Chains A and B, each alone.
Chain A
Amino acid sequence: MTLFDLALKNIRRNMKSYSLYIGSTIFSIIIYFTFVTLKYSEDISSLAETSKQISSIMSASAFVLMIFVAIFIAYSNSFFMKKRKKEVALYSLLGVRKRSIGFMLFFENMVIGLLSLVVGVGLGFLLSRALLTILMKLMGLDIVIGFAFSIDAVINTLIVFFIIFLFTSMQGYRVIYQFKLIDLFHAEKKGEELPKARMISAILGVVTLATAYWLALQDLTTSPIWRMLSLAMPIVIIALTVIGSALIFNSVLVYMLSIMKNNKRWAWKGLNLMTSSQLLYRIRGNAKTLTIIATLSATTITAGGAVFGLYYNADKNVQTYTPYTFMWEGAPQEIDPHLIEHAETVHSKTLRIEQGAYEMEYAVIKQSTFEKLAKNLDWSDIQVAKDEEVLMIDAFYNEQWSQKVDSVMIDGTEYKVAKLYDKAVFNTFTIGASAIVVTDKLYSEITADEKTYQAVQVKDYKNQLALSEELAAKTENFSSATEDYRASIEASGALLFVGSFLGLVFLVATGSIIFFKMMTDAEEDKGKYAVLYKIGVSKREMKRTIRSQVGMIFAAPLGLGLLHGAVALTAFSNLLMMNLLVPVLIWMLAYTLIYTIYYFITVRSFNKTVH
């Protein structure tokens, strides 16, 4: 029996800790391979011709994913190595040269890596098929997926992971050479100092974070700070947020916990003392990890929320500028009467009106036409223009950027603008975004060419692509909500897919990082809990303190991440002037839910390790 045989045997018997590591690597490979397959897929690339956005989004995301996967594998690897310290130390003690141990670990890691690659690529192939179907559904496309095994994707994955495994295997060597034999025999750690709560840095942390939030919520157009920092602003905000988070974990939480610990009435009850002092050590020691997790969570929540918001609002966005399903210039066309909800003929004259230095072109419509159109759209604020008055419609009106017009000159007479509507009453593409509603009498007096338009509202407008294409071929100046919706869903659907895909990956990875951390801690805490058990603490009570310790480690970065995300999304929705509340809440809830599942799994494993 050689050392090699023993090492193999050791792998087989230690399957549990190996499987955790192998599982994480396979997971990473599946994720990456699937994503790259989608990127190289012909269906996607034919799609990408129509929208350049998608291919660039895919490329950028693949890069982010690559970095992330590399970090994740490096992390699992170091966790795995830590667990094997004892074994390595023993080999060294029994006189195996470091070079041999290093080679053994290197070899083992490469074998694990190659096996994971085979399994990961295989599973990834199956998974990518399912995911591509989902992607097509989200983009509202009915394409039958002819799915070919992409050699490019395989090669790409092989190269990326080979480099990653080479790197982690080297890492193993580094661990071996830094490792001192004496460390094994100093198992009992040198007494760590209890972290002291520094009031100043605690306050600094809160202030830094508050400043970051305040800056993020500044109005892009009016804020003097934006003007001052311009493009550096987002970087400043992100930097302040990260620093603030780090200080929160390093000082603010430590400060709060020390106060709790010093409150004898609370602390000297049951295991509260144990819970708070364990957390004190843990939070300070893990401040870096917690900051990373909070930042990652915030990124995921923000990106996912924004993308999901866009997708969720695609419907509304289309209707903002294309309220009628179809509009075109000219005579009515034949459409199945069962489909039609409303059909109107619109006459309009075009007027150029001077406004200060500019001359603006307006479509002029009659009051009666306006009322019919608006009624079809269920407007509740239909106003009637009296003599000497006009109504103005400006679909692109923006309080900050648009000039407010109080009166217009038509044929030498001044008319007061009685009301300004900032929404479209007809499709802006066909007639234009700016219109003036005048009394029927005035309309007939205006001398300008009159054009005739048709506005049709049909049932189930999202699924009338055939009709839309038919009309588009036959008419001029054609605008179609069906077509707009398709385009919008195609772009935001791809975004949503990429966003939720990456979001899911980040989520799983952050959860796993906490899981690994907590399992390392559990291993170290074994002795403490054995002592507690011996002095008569019930298992139930121990479970309770474990629950609160693990809970705190999970809740702190999640809470901060949600807060960051909420602020960022508020800024985002202000910028786009979109109400994102519902989709963002759904997104955050989903995120929290999956996170909670991780919490329960971790608590279970922690309990299992300790008892």
Chain B
Amino acid sequence: MEPLLVVRNAEKIYGNSANTFKALENISFEIDHGEFVGVMGPSGAGKSTLLNVLATIDSPTNGDILIGNDNIAKMKEEALADFRRDHLGFIFQDYNLLDSLTVRENILLPLAIAKKPAAEIKERVDTIARTFGISNLLDKYPYQISGGQKQRTAASRALVSNPKLIFADEPTGALDSKSATDLLESLSKLNVEHETTIMMVTHDAYAASFCRRILFIKDGQLSKEKFRGTKTRKEFFQMILDELAQIGGDVHDVI
């Protein structure tokens, strides 16, 4: 089967000719349909830059990024907007909800943008809210609910339009362990049951252990790749910790 995402020799260089900094260097990998991939690495390794580039928020300096048959590295602004609308979903550490809209309205925003009929919107929002267990919060405002509930709202918004690919940037970064576990379990369930493709950047080994595959990144380059395979989540967690200890030794930074 054809991979969903293909990254070929992606590079991101900041600064002008005199003083350049390579945030990403010669990155190539693929993600298949239905995968749950984690990206890990120490602070400043280029994790978020990679995610931003893949998510069309930022553009690579060189290289190709193909999602399906579209090369997003070469796409124009307008086409990118349409592409994001139709194929991508986002979850951020700081939620990015609109305070002036209710939970329901926040979730249905992507569908409204895609001009879906009202009946379909209602059904889809109710379904996704049930998946994330926030059905009873739909008419509340973001300032009335907890951080974990906000993040589940944001995740619902990311998933409601059935995008090809979900990008999550430290989604558990601001959550307590209970909320984080709830969210990760929901994502994991969606991945298994609906074959939703997810790419998640995290520096938390616990969060990473929910993934099926981990890409390690260091100094802007891919350094290693680990597969969960048939291991239990706990075994995979231990494996990630060992790997982190081996890479940079700075476990304090990643836990």
Contact = CB atoms under 8 A, between A and B. Distances in A.
Interface of A: 1-3, 5-6, 9-10, 13-14, 86-87, 90-99, 181-182, 184-185, 187
A95 B96 contact: no
A90 B100 contact: no
Interface string B74-100: 000110011111101010101010111
Please report whether the interface of chain A is mostly helix, strand, loop or mixed according to DSSP: helix
User: Which 9 residue pairs of A and B lie closest in terms of their CB atoms, listed nearest first?
Assistant: A95-B85, A13-B100, A95-B84, A97-B81, A182-B58, A181-B57, A14-B100, A94-B110, A3-B112
Interface in B36-50: 48
B101 A93 contact: no
Contacts of B99: 13
Nearest to B108: A1
B113 A91 contact: yes
Given A6-B112, A91-B113, A185 B82 contact: no
A93 B57 CA distance: 8
Contact of A9 (B48, B83, B84, B105): B105
Contact of B84 (A10, A86, A87, A94): A94
Contacts, number: 75
A94 B101 contact: no
B47 to A, nearest CB: 13
Contacts of B57: 93, 181-182, 184-185
Given A2-B115, A10-B101, A185-B52, A95 B83 contact: yes
28 contacts: A1-B105, A1-B112, A1-B121, A2-B112, A3-B112, A6-B101, A6-B109, A10-B98, A10-B100, A13-B99, A13-B101, A14-B100, A86-B96, A90-B96, A90-B98, A90-B109, A92-B81, A94-B84, A95-B81, A95-B83, A95-B86, A95-B110, A95-B113, A98-B77, A99-B78, A181-B56, A182-B58, A187-B94
B145 interface: no
B118 A1 contact: yes
A87 B115 CA distance: 19
Contacts of A87: 98
Interface string B103-124: 0010011101111001001000
Nearest to B97: A90
A97 B82 contact: yes
A99 B80 CA distance: 13
Contacts of A97: 78, 81-82
B78 A98 contact: yes
B81 A96 contact: yes
A557 B70 CA distance: 56
The size class of the interface chain B forms with chain A is 20 to 34
Contacts of B56: 181
B84 A93 contact: yes
B212 to A, nearest CB: 26
A1 B109 CA distance: 9
B127 to A, nearest CB: 17
A96 to B, nearest CB: 5
Nearest to A14: B100
B100 A9 contact: yes
A2 B96 CA distance: 20
Nearest to B114: A95
Contacts of A96: 81, 85, 113
Contact of A94 (B48, B113, B169): B113
B58 A93 contact: no
Given A98-B77, A185-B57, A93 B90 contact: yes
B98 to A, nearest CB: 6
Contacts of A2: 112, 115
Contacts of B77: 98
B113 A3 contact: yes
Contacts of A90: 96, 98, 109
A187 B84 CA distance: 21
Nearest to A12: B100
Nearest to A182: B58
Contacts of A185: 48, 52, 57, 92, 169
Contacts of B90: 93
B60 to A, nearest CB: 12
Nearest to B158: A94
Given A13-B100, A182-B52, 7 more contacts: A5-B112, A6-B105, A94-B85, A94-B110, A95-B113, A181-B56, A185-B92
B86 to A, nearest CB: 7
B164 to A, nearest CB: 13
Contacts of A182: 52, 57-58
B57, B101, B110, B114 — most chain A CB neighbours (10 Å): B57
Contacts of A184: 57
A94 B89 CA distance: 8
Contacts of B94: 187
Nearest to B55: A93
Contacts of A6: 101, 105, 109, 112
B38 to A, nearest CB: 19
A83 to B, nearest CB: 12
Nearest to B111: A1
Contacts of B88: 95
A446 B118 CA distance: 110
B107 to A, nearest CB: 11
A185 B53 CA distance: 12
Nearest to A97: B81
A88 B103 CA distance: 18
A87 B98 CA distance: 7
A93 B95 CA distance: 13
A5 B57 CA distance: 26
Interface string B12-56: 000000000000000000000000000000000000100010001
A182 B60 CA distance: 12
B82 A95 contact: yes
Contacts of A14: 100
B113 to A, nearest CB: 5
B52, B88, B100 — most chain A CB neighbours (10 Å): B100
